[in-house]
Amino acid sequence: MAYKTILVHLDRKERAANRVRIAANLAKAEDACLIGAAMIGISTLTFREARINEKDPALASHLKFLTDRAEGFVEDFIQEVEGMGVLSYEGRVVDGEAGYGISMQARYSDLVVVGQTNLNDDAPIVQPDFPEFVVIHTGRPVLLIPHGYEKETVGSRVLVAWNASKEARRAVTDAIPLLRRAEVVDVVMFNVETEPDMRDESSVTDLAVYLARHGVNVHILKRQQARNIGQSLLEIAAERGTDLLVLGGYGHTRFRQFLLGGLPEPS
């Protein structure tokens, strides 16, 4: 089990540079092909209506600006990965807006790397729900780089959020290449009084055995029910020096609230 094709979303250099470096270091570690994809930023329907371009010079000029901008993102990507010694890479300019475009490109990727939304960005290139859309719609593991994260690597100290749900199981399996290389892997399970099958304490022991067969040794953490599990995860991550959090994608509202600063209280 390995990542052989890694896809990274490209945008402005000041936002994407560290994301690209993280993806490049992962590609080198996994001997993977790294694909950098820059989306034009508007619906593909606009490109299909060629007659509109002919009749509206202003629109044609704007499309050229967006295309040139995306090509610039790709040029920055190529310069960065060549300098880092990535052996296999490809830059792509993709027609379409960011969420749809990256989701289509992710079909043939093992891992997708995107950045967290910066709500203070006064000139955003993507929609605020872009990370959520990618997680929900790609069907691939997504590595979400927090806004302001400065390290060029991730995964030396990992925290796995475990509740035995299908989302958690999928997340753990998808993260095995990262878990194998980690120095420390913590698994936390909260005693949440909902869905009895997901609070069975034997499940976390079974998970430890499963991961051990993949060469991953874990440290099990048990916590009492938290009113805000998202905030509790962030507090544990800070306490443990975590640089990678592994958890399953939730439904739209719950996942988006976590991305913006924590999950809601359990109902």
The pLDDT tens digits for 40-71 are 987 665 655 555 555 666 777 878 889 999 99
Whether the model clears a pTM of 0.85, i.e. scores above it, the answer is yes
How many domains is the chain partitioned into structurally?
Answer: 2
Domain end marker among 84, 114, 145 = 145
Domain assignment of residue 78, given as a range: 5-145
Instruction: Please state, in angstroms and rounded to a whole number, the distance separating the CA atoms of residues 223 and 232.
Output: 9
Check residue 125 and give its pLDDT.
80
Give the number of other Cβ atoms within 10 Å of residue 172's Cβ: 22
- 198 vs 81, 175, 224, 234, 262, CA distance in Å? 42, 20, 14, 21, 20
Both 169 and 254 in one domain: the answer is: yes
Q: Which helix (H) or strand (E) holds 201?
A: none
In a domain, 151, yes or no: no
> Is residue 14 a part of any domain in this protein?
yes
Per-residue confidence band for 267, with pLDDT thresholds at 50, 70 and 90? very low
Is residue 220 helix, strand or coil? strand
Contacts of 155 (CB under 8 A, 6+ apart): 178, 179, 181, 182, 243, 244
pLDDT tens for each residue of 107-153: 999 999 999 887 777 667 888 788 888 988 898 999 999 988 999 99
Q: What pLDDT score does 50 carry?
A: 52
CATH of the domain at 74: 3.40.50.620
Lowest mean pLDDT among 54-63, 68-77, 95-104: 54-63
CB 71, CB 65: distance < 8 Å: no
In a domain, 210, yes or no: yes
